[in-house]
Amino acid sequence: MKLQLRYLLMAGLVSTAVQAADNQDATLIAKGEYLARAGDCTACHSIAGGKEFGGGLAIASPMGVIYSTNISPDPEAGIGKYTEQEFADAVRKGIRRDGKHLYPAMPYPDYRGITDEDIHALYVYFMKGVKPVAEKAPETSLMFPFSQRWGMWFWNVAFTEDKPFAPRHSVPDDINRGKYLVETLGHCGSCHTPRGIGMQEKALNESSDKYLAGGELNGWPVPSLRGMPTWSIQNITDYLATGRNDFASVGGEMTGVVEHSMQHMNDQDLHAIAAYLKSLPADTPVINRRADAEQETKKTADYLTQGHNLNAGQMLYMNNCEACHWTDGNGAKGIFPRLNGGDVVIADNPTGLINIILQGAQTPSTPKAPSVMAMPGFASRLSDEQVAQLATFVRSGWSNNAPAVTPKEVTKVRESLAKP
């Protein structure tokens, strides 16, 4: 009997498409694939269970639903007919092959700074390394006046910069590599930079202190990434690679970013991103913590342990959360996030916390941390009033000192979740 060991031989190869290509192409394709991951192209241009880069993802915007396009090399349904220049213009300027404008749901204002060299690798990858998908993605048809794509010309003039990436002088290469990844492919600003009146990112690079200063997105408070004073470079790197670190786990939109993009990046690049973020001057942090953290933590933990005369919020905590997050609110290192001093917990804006209580969260399975660990959502178990009581306790127990949460705020989040 002969064993079929062909799989051993195939393990080292990326795909059959690669086999046909020559070595130079293979290197470029691999590089392009890596850059496409860094740019998180899959997240928007594929749907769950659909073919990769076939498009069709519905992106809700205030103007209506925008469908992502097919960017596979199919000549009819995809971008197979694009020349490299046309491809570059679409990615960097938001201009389609037919000259029409893309909507900035596609983060071309961020991609503007992608180098020619990287554009070339991306082009080779999308033309030769991606399987063509023959199905067309649904057409985007926004209401008037947004249906008039030419109008985007004015938007682009007003809100984008036609400048290449500018490295910072006299800093280590590591930081400039991080700056490049964050500003361009990573398009971190599209979530983490506050938006202006025209929905534009208020800053596209570090020249403004608005850049990466956080804000709100689809009801979630988005943390500032400037300097990240309470996180170390290692904490950030772990979080990006695995969706978790010693004290926090990923939730909301960022879950997909880790799953589709960041977990595939190499240690050096993740480290560079972390180093760059740490190099930005920090905002003045809002301090929703008590000064005597240790003593206050002990006070709450002792009180919960005694278990006498607990108020509604404390009782809800004991019955729903304590099993994993413990009486001291410190969770379990690397597994259950810390509530005591947790960034999402004590943020000024409580909607992120409310969101997680209602919906739960789940870590992605990454090569460095395969475990899929889920926090259940409590939407079906707790009323708005109970969620408010629970959130209020969690935000004020231990060392935490964040404002209370009202049932109205919970109702608002619950309603936003009910929408398709």
Partner 1 sequence: MKKINDAVDVIIVGLGWAGSIMGIELAQAGLKVRALERGEDRLNSDYAYPKPADELAFTKRHKIMQSPHDAAFTIRHNASETALPMRELGAFRLGDGVGGAGLHWTGMITRPTPVDLKMKTYADEHFKRGELDEELRIADFPVSWEEIEPHMDFFDKVCGSSGETGNLRGVIQQGGDPFEGARSNPFPNKPLEDSLNATLFRQATQEMGLHPYSMPSAAVSVPYTNPYGQQIAPCNYCGFCQFYSCLNYSKASPQTAILDRLKQFNNFDYKTRANVIRVEKHADGKTATGVTYIDENGDEVFQPASIVILSTFGLNNVRLLLNSSIGKPYNPITEEGVIGRNYTHQYGGGFTLFFDNLEFNPFATAGPTGTVISDYGTGNVETAQLGFIGGAKIYSSQPTGTPMAAAIKKGAPSWGSGWKKALKESYGHSMGVKLEGSNMATRGNYLDLDPVYKDRFGMPLLRVTYDYVQNDLRMLQYMKEKMEAITKHLNPTQYSHNILKMDSHFASSPNYVNTHNAGGAIMGDNPRTSALNRYLQSWDVHNLFVMGANAFPQNFYANPSAMVAGLAYWSAKAIREQYLKNPGPLVQA
Whole-number Å distance between alpha carbons of 401 and 288: 5
Q: Which is nearer to partner 1, 66 or 258 (CB)?
A: 258
* Contact yes or no for 286/223 (Cβ under 8 A): no
Query: Residue for token digits 């983490």?
Result: 192
Q: Going residue by residue from 328 to 357, which x/- string records binding to partner 1, judged by CB under 8 A?
A: ----xxxxx---------------------
* Contact residue for partner 1 among 141, 218, 371, 383 (CB under 8 A): 371
* Contact residue for partner 1 among 81, 97, 168, 368 (CB under 8 A): 368
Q: Which is nearer to partner 1, 143 or 323 (CB)?
A: 323
Query: Residue for token digits 């992120």?
Result: 352
* Contact yes or no for 189/203 (Cβ under 8 A): yes
- Binding part of the chain for partner 1, among 147-155, 159-167, 297-305, 364-372 by CB under 8 A, reads 364-372
CA 335 to chain centre: 20
Q: How far is the CB of 377 from partner 1 (least distance, A)?
A: 9
Beta-carbon neighbour count of residue 342 at 10 Å?
21
Q: Which is nearer to partner 1, 97 or 333 (CB)?
A: 333
* Contact residue for partner 1 among 232, 372, 383, 417 (CB under 8 A): 372
Q: If binding is defined by CB under 8 A, does position 370 make contact with partner 1?
A: yes
Whole-number Å distance between alpha carbons of 124 and 130: 9
- The answer to whether the annotation marks 41 as part of a ligand binding site is yes
* Contact residue for partner 1 among 256, 326, 411, 416 (CB under 8 A): 326
Whole-number Å distance between alpha carbons of 326 and 153: 54
Beta-carbon neighbour count of residue 253 at 10 Å?
13
Q: If binding is defined by CB under 8 A, does position 14 make contact with partner 1?
A: no
Q: Cα–Cα distances in Å, from 154 out to 100, 105, 151, 159?
A: 13, 16, 6, 8
Q: Which is nearer to partner 1, 171 or 324 (CB)?
A: 324
Whole-number Å distance between alpha carbons of 266 and 274: 13
- The answer to whether the annotation marks 44 as part of a ligand binding site is yes
Q: Which is nearer to partner 1, 249 or 349 (CB)?
A: 249
Q: If binding is defined by CB under 8 A, does position 256 make contact with partner 1?
A: no
* Contact residue for partner 1 among 84, 324, 343, 406 (CB under 8 A): 324
Count of residues interacting with partner 1 (CB under 8 A):
31
- Binding part of the chain for partner 1, among 62-70, 130-138, 217-225, 324-332 by CB under 8 A, reads 324-332
Nearest to residue 300, comparing CAs of 392, 393, 398, 402? 398
Nearest to residue 187, comparing CAs of 238, 262, 82? 262
- Classify residue 120 as exposed, middle or buried by CB count within 10 Å of its CB (0-12, 13-18, 19+): middle
Q: How far is the CB of 326 from partner 1 (least distance, A)?
A: 8
Q: If binding is defined by CB under 8 A, does position 360 make contact with partner 1?
A: yes
- The answer to whether the annotation marks 192 as part of a ligand binding site is yes
Q: If binding is defined by CB under 8 A, does position 80 make contact with partner 1?
A: no
* Contact yes or no for 392/386 (Cβ under 8 A): no
Whole-number Å distance between alpha carbons of 376 and 94: 40
Q: Going residue by residue from 262 to 301, which x/- string records binding to partner 1, judged by CB under 8 A?
A: ----------------------------------------
* Contact residue for partner 1 among 320, 406, 411, 416 (CB under 8 A): 320
Q: Which residues pair with 366 in a beta bridge?
A: 369
Query: Residue for token digits 């740490």?
Result: 278
* Contact residue for partner 1 among 48, 291, 374, 418 (CB under 8 A): 374
- At residue 103, φ and ψ (nearest 5 deg) are -80, 145
* Contact residue for partner 1 among 122, 369, 410, 413 (CB under 8 A): 369
Known binding positions for heme c: 41, 44-45, 188, 191-192, 321, 324-325
Residues lying near partner 1 in the complex (CB under 8 A) are found at: 1-5, 7-8, 11, 320, 322-324, 326, 332-336, 360, 362, 365, 367-376
